[in-house]
A and B are shown apart, each in its own frame.
Chain A
Amino acid sequence: SQQGEEDPQALSIQEGENATMNCSYKTSINNLQWYRQNSGRGLVHLILIRSNEREKHSGRLRVTLDTSKKSSSLLITASRAADTASYFCAPHNAGNMLTFGGGTRLMVKP
């Protein structure tokens, strides 16, 4: 299955700390996308990293991709209470289909 699997399932940190979430997948990909979801609402696109890229930054977000290990990580630096949400990784195959795991539920305490 192409499905991304996030780890840990849940993460609780204090405001100002960094949060790291990991993602593993099983087959080759064209790219991998990370999304945030607040309280069962729509998914917000965070970042896309292509298979030939190893690291990408966007504001306080840093994403890495290791295609040899079929894994990715999302780092949120200097977390804020507003970062509280579920985070999903979605490996993207040639058919333009995203597959999601169960996500990481991040709780940032003020």
Chain B
Amino acid sequence: DAGVTQSPTHLIKTRGQQVTLRCSPKSGHDTVSWYQQALGQGPQFIFQYYEEEERQRGNFPDRFSGHQFPNYSSELNVNALLLGDSALYLCASSFGAGGGSTEAFFGQGTRLTVV
């Protein structure tokens, strides 16, 4: 049983460019959440997708957008990249948005460097 998989593992982009990160949830999970983790800090919640809709959003600008596909996989898109967007981007999958009783499992992350 594959866990949460993310691609790519590393990425280097130039300021102003756009980037797309991908996540496949753990088998049996239907909810995907995205987090940004700056160096030396804890992960910060970006948004959560369930039933192909954004259900919750953290304090991130509209440059950050996402999508969930019918197979529950998800993409995170960031437009007009800034140097400050350099971070580890983590995807977490769980079962059933709301309820609040299930574990969330994380992928290994995508390390994004903006130069």
Contact = CB atoms under 8 A, between A and B. Distances in A.
A88 B44 CA distance: 12
Interface stretch (A11-19, A39-47, A59-67, A75-83): A39-47
- Interface size class of chain A, counting residues whose CB lies under 8 Å from the partner chain: 20 to 34
Interface residues of B, number: 35
Classify the interface of chain B: helix, strand, loop or mixed.
loop
Interface in B46-76: 48, 55-56, 58
B92 interface: yes
Contacts of A31: 100-101
Interface stretch (B13-21, B77-85, B106-114): B106-114
Contacts of B86: none
Interface in A83-110: 88, 90, 92-103
Contacts, number: 79
A47 to B, nearest CB: 9
Contacts of A44: 106
Interface of A: 29-31, 33, 35, 40-45, 48, 50, 88, 90, 92-103
Interface of B: 4, 31, 33, 35, 37, 39-45, 48, 55-56, 58, 88, 90, 92, 94, 96-109, 111
Given A43-B106, A96-B98, 15 more contacts: A33-B103, A33-B104, A40-B88, A41-B109, A45-B103, A45-B106, A90-B104, A94-B98, A94-B99, A95-B55, A96-B94, A96-B99, A96-B100, A96-B102, A100-B44
